[in-house]
């Protein structure tokens, strides 16, 4: 064996990641050498011995995360997820008979043709590719057929890129009586609610979702606080399940609050890929990364989930969308214009809600003077055309066209649009098949102006503080006593 092969094998051995925390001996030694060169201690050998004994307390945590993603997910996680997608679920064994317990019948659900949707995006040169699109379709099938979840519909929302791991996001709607409540959320807020669980229960399918830990919501809203929209309405109309590997354990994101949406608009932060990570920003974000990811989903969904024009109609009684029976698909190249698409999700107001919340108007009070700007906002209605979207600075349109071919003579082309407001959001159509998807870092194309720091606090008035450490100053004697002392 040559010396080159020996060095290569040694480096490969040192770079093996631990299945417990995802770290490796090579990464630890690199940090150790960097720490020694930075601090230059007098006894570097002692630091080496301490780092080997207690590796987590040797280095100080850095606020800034590296820009290059670090592979902290072991390969076994990807393998286990692939087995979950393509293999049959393991059935529990009856301890009395020793035979496998009969599986529950699969759940009935609705889902778009994800294979055809992946082909449309692949023709436009966007999306995740046909191979990943097939895995997405199989993962969505597992979610929809899981009788324990009981979903009525499932849709692939997209993929969020992170520094340490990525998020595959699925949008689901539950059947009546299957909506997860607060009790289930508290039960799931354990180790299994992590973004990268180590394993899942063998007695249930991999699509059984746990709940991500979220910040506790107040029991009663104060007069200045905007209440949260109930599940199944507004920004919380759908529930979102995320996983780091297709086929791996799923985590249900908590419902979003108006305060979280408003706070996410004032900051820009790269996702780490760990739902329990702290969002270290100014101003402070009310929640962890699971809440921040959910607020990004709400903003992106309201702005980029679209459908072809005239495909849906608004029911005047229920204010819900209904599919039109007279819709005829347009040629692919005609779908590459903003006029060919409409918004099918309600507009997300500045208040952080889809439906504006107004305080109770006192008697003999003027509405325009009592309500603030957020309470008087009137956004666009459902099925608003993409032509009416606000332009970017410099009169740049919000959407740019996508074509599957530069030649207009090619038949059965695919056409679509790419969002310039949310880079990574696309929509496309080919004949009767259409879809929209998001693949990006969760960054909006908008100038980021950090908020100024809070005003400097005033100096503390120590003169007004009473203390018992010093003896009290003696009182001044009366003038008469002073005269008697002088005569004596």
Looking at residues 124-147, what average pLDDT do you find?
A: 91
In tens, the pLDDT along 206-255 reads 556 777 776 544 434 444 689 999 999 999 999 999 999 998 899 999 99
Higher pLDDT, 90 or 396: 396
* 103 C-beta neighbours (distance < 10 Å), count: 12
User: Which DSSP helix (H) or strand (E) runs through 308?
Assistant: strand 306-308
Task: Encode burial over 273-294: b for 16+ CB neighbours within 10 A, e otherwise.
Answer: bbbbbebeeeeebbbbbbbbbb
Please, which residues have CB within 8 angstroms of residue 377's CB and are 6 or more apart in sequence?
A: 349, 350, 351, 356
Examine the pLDDT at 58 and tell me if it is beyond 60: no
What is the reported pLDDT for 48?
A: 67
Give dist(CA 187, CA 189) in Å, integer: 6
> What's the predicted TM-score (pTM) here?
0.74
| Torsion angle of C-alpha atoms 377, 381, 386, 390, degrees rounded to 10 | -10
Give dist(CA 375, CA 367) in Å, integer: 10
Give dist(CA 65, CA 63) in Å, integer: 6
Give dist(CA 185, CA 127) in Å, integer: 32
Selection from 179, 360, 337 nearest residue 255 by Cα: 179
Query: Cα(first)–Cα(last) distance of the chain, in Å?
Result: 112
Examine the pLDDT at 143 and tell me if it is beyond 60: yes
Catalogue the E-assigned strands of 105-264.
110-111, 151-160, 167-174, 209-211, 239-243, 250-252
Catalogue the E-assigned strands of 201-299.
209-211, 239-243, 250-252
Give dist(CA 485, CA 488) in Å, integer: 5
Selection from 231, 238, 247, 254 nearest residue 146 by Cα: 247
Length of the chain: 488
Quick check: 152 and 229 in contact, CB under 8 A?
no
> Mapped to the 3 state alphabet, what secondary structure does 101-120 carry?
CCCCCCCCCEECCHHHHHHH
In tens, the pLDDT along 155-189 reads 999 999 999 999 999 999 999 877 664 334 333 33
> Mapped to the 3 state alphabet, what secondary structure does 419-471 carry?
ECCCCCEEEEEECCEEEEEEEECCCCCCCCCCCCCCCCCCCCCHHHCCCCCCC
Q: What is the CA radius of gyration of the chain?
A: 30
User: DSSP code of 378?
Assistant: -
Residue 343's φ and ψ, nearest 5 degrees, are -80, 135
Looking at residues 12-31, what average pLDDT do you find?
A: 71
For residue 173, the cross-strand partners are: 153
Quick check: 229 and 355 in contact, CB under 8 A?
yes
What is the reported pLDDT for 140?
A: 94
Examine the pLDDT at 18 and tell me if it is beyond 50: yes
Give dist(CA 304, CA 352) in Å, integer: 17
Which range in 9-13, 63-67, 424-428 is most confidently predicted, on average pLDDT? Answer: 424-428
Cis peptide before 283 (omega within 30 of 0): yes
Looking at residues 258-287, what average pLDDT do you find?
A: 94
Band the pLDDT of 45: cuts 50, 70, 90: confident
Examine the pLDDT at 452 and tell me if it is beyond 60: yes
CA distances from 370 to 90, 350, 365, 374, 415 (A): 61, 18, 7, 12, 48
Looking at residues 66-71, what average pLDDT do you find?
A: 48
Give dist(CA 223, CA 375) in Å, integer: 13
Quick check: 217 and 154 in contact, CB under 8 A?
no
What is the reported pLDDT for 434?
A: 94
Please, which residues have CB within 8 angstroms of residue 197's CB and are 6 or more apart in sequence?
A: 191, 210, 248, 249, 251
In tens, the pLDDT along 287-323 reads 999 999 999 999 999 999 999 999 999 988 888 899 9
């Amino acid at each position: 064996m040559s010396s080159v092969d020996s060095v290569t094998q040694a480096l490969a051995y040192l770079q093996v990641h631990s299945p417990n925390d995802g770290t490796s001996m090579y990464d630890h030694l690199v940090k150790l050498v960097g720490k020694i060169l930075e601090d230059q201690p007098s006894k570097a050998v002692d630091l080496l011995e301490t780092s080997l004994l207690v590796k987590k307390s040797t280095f100080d945590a850095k606020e800034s995360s590296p820009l290059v993603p670090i592979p902290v997910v072991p390969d076994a996680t990807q393998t286990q997820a692939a087995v979950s997608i393509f293999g049959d679920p393991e059935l529990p064994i009856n301890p009395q008979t020793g035979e496998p317990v009969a599986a529950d019948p699969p759940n009935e659900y609705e889902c778009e043709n994800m294979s055809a949707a992946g082909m449309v995006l692949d023709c436009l040169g966007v999306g995740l590719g046909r191979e990943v699109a097939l895995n997405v379709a199989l993962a969505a099938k597992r979610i929809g057929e899981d009788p324990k979840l009981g979903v009525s519909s499932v849709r692939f929302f997209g993929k969020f890129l992170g520094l340490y791991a990525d998020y595959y996001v699925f949008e689901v709607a539950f059947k009546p009586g299957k909506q997860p409540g607060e009790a289930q959320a508290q039960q799931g807020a354990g180790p299994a609610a992590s973004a990268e669980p180590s394993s899942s229960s063998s007695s249930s399918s991999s699509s059984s979702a746990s709940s991500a830990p979220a910040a506790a919501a107040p029991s009663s809203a104060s007069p200045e606080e905007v209440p949260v929209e109930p599940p199944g309405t507004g920004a919380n109309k759908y529930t979102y399940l995320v996983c780091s590997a297709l086929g791996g354990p799923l985590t249900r994101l908590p419902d979003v609050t108006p305060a979280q949406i408003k706070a996410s608009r004032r900051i820009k932060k790269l996702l780490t890929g760990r739902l329990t990570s702290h969002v270290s920003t100014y101003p402070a974000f009310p929640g962890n990364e699971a809440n921040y990811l959910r607020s990004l989903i709400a903003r992106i969904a309201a702005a980029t989930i679209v459908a072809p024009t005239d495909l849906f109609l608004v029911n005047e009684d229920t204010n819900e969308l209904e599919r039109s029976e007279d819709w005829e698909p347009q040629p692919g190249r005609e779908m590459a214009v903003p006029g060919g698409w409409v918004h099918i999700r309600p507009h997300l107001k500045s208040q952080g809600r889809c439906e504006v919340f107004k305080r109770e108007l006192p008697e003999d009070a003027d509405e325009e003077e009592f309500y603030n700007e957020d309470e008087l906002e009137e956004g666009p209605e459902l099925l608003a055309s993409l032509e009416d979207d606000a332009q970017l600075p410099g009169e740049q349109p919000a959407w740019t066209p996508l074509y599957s071919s530069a030649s207009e003579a090619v038949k059965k082309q695919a056409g679509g649009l790419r969002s310039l407001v949310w880079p990574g959001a696309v929509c496309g159509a080919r004949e009767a098949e259409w879809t929209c998807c998001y693949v990006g870092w969760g960054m909006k194309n908008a100038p980021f102006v950090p908020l100024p720091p809070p005003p400097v606090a005033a100096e503390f008035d120590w003169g007004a503080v009473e203390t018992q450490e010093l003896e009290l100053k003696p009182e001044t004697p009366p003038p008469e006593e002073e005269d008697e002392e002088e005569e004596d």
